[in-house]
């Protein structure tokens, strides 16, 4: 199958650079609908679904390939090479921020001129002085719950992950997105996501990077954003006054403003 079919790639807009929008765990490209159209008016934009998510081709899912984030990163490299024009900017939400970084670092690849990381975390588990937000027992319990009752976990956790208490429809949308994902694929992706540790990779990413951090985030707390800002060589940290892990949905205006300022500052 071709790349477009495998990842359900959608291209819009024209402009001096190409922005690639990558969704987080349990989501799909539709989660960018409040943010991407404004950029398509000025840039070439590329939306896609990670294999196993959304309307990607499930025939492409290989448990061995996607047993690590690098499997997804290799797909991202192929998408960027096939669809990029001009400077390429990778916009990744949550785990996709790390996937984009791994794609960039693959064999010292410099395909991306800049990165935008929305709610990123290089490691979810507390380790010594590092605070990721969860104890290992918390993550193991979460994964056990996913294994035993994925649909129940989805309906309970999605509203808490989304935040945005004044817009409950967004939490319901996220829950529905979780529930549409094949449970076996979702369980493996969750394990790969929450057990990953990419802290050692951060100093190697020398491209300009914008970190968009919510002031209250259950999944990636403020201390994680601060850690990444200290560790990434060329980072800018913008804290959005917002509750939840999906500011591109619950606070799209603030996210758009932050990305606009970042792109302008770096001449993109």
Catalytic residues: 94, 217, 245
**53-73 as b/e: b if 16+ CB within 10 A:** bbebbeebbeeeebeebbbbb
**Of the candidates 221, 232, 202, which has an alpha carbon nearest to the alpha carbon of residue 132?**
221
**Which contacts qualify for 4-9: CB closer than 8 Å, 24 or more apart?**
5/57, 6/51, 6/56, 6/57, 6/60, 6/75, 7/48, 7/49, 7/50, 7/51, 7/56, 7/75, 7/79, 8/48, 8/49, 8/54, 8/55, 8/56, 8/57, 9/46, 9/47, 9/48, 9/79, 9/83
């Amino acid at each position: 199958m071709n790349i477009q079919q495998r990842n359900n790639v959608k291209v819009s807009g024209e402009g001096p650079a190409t922005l690639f929008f990558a969704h987080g765990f349990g989501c799909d490209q539709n989660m960018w609908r409040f943010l991407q159209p404004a950029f398509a008016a000025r840039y070439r934009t590329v939306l896609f679904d990670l294999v196993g998510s959304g309307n990607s081709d499930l025939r492409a899912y290989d448990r061995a390939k996607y047993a690590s984030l690098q499997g997804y990163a290799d797909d991202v490299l192929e998408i960027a090479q096939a669809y990029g024009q001009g400077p390429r900017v990778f916009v990744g939400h949550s785990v996709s921020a790390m996937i984009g970084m791994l794609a960039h670092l693959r064999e010292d690849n410099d395909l991306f001129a800049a990165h935008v990381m929305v709610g990123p975390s290089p490691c979810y588990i507390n380790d010594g002085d590092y605070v990721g937000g969860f104890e290992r027992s918390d993550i193991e319990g979460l994964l056990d719950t996913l294994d035993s009752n994925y649909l129940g976990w989805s309906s309970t956790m999605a509203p808490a992950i989304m935040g945005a208490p004044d817009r409950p429809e967004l939490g319901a949308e996220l829950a529905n997105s979780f529930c549409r994902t094949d449970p076996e694929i979702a369980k493996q992706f969750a394990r790969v996501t929450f057990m990953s540790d990419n802290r050692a990779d951060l100093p190697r990413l020398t491209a300009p990077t914008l970190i968009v951090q919510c002031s209250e985030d259950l999944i990636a707390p403020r201390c994680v954003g601060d850690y990444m800002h200290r560790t990434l060589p060329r980072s800018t940290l913008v804290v959005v006054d917002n509750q939840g892990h999906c500011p591109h949905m619950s606070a799209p205006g603030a996210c758009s403003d932050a990305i606009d300022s970042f792109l302008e500052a770096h001449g993109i």
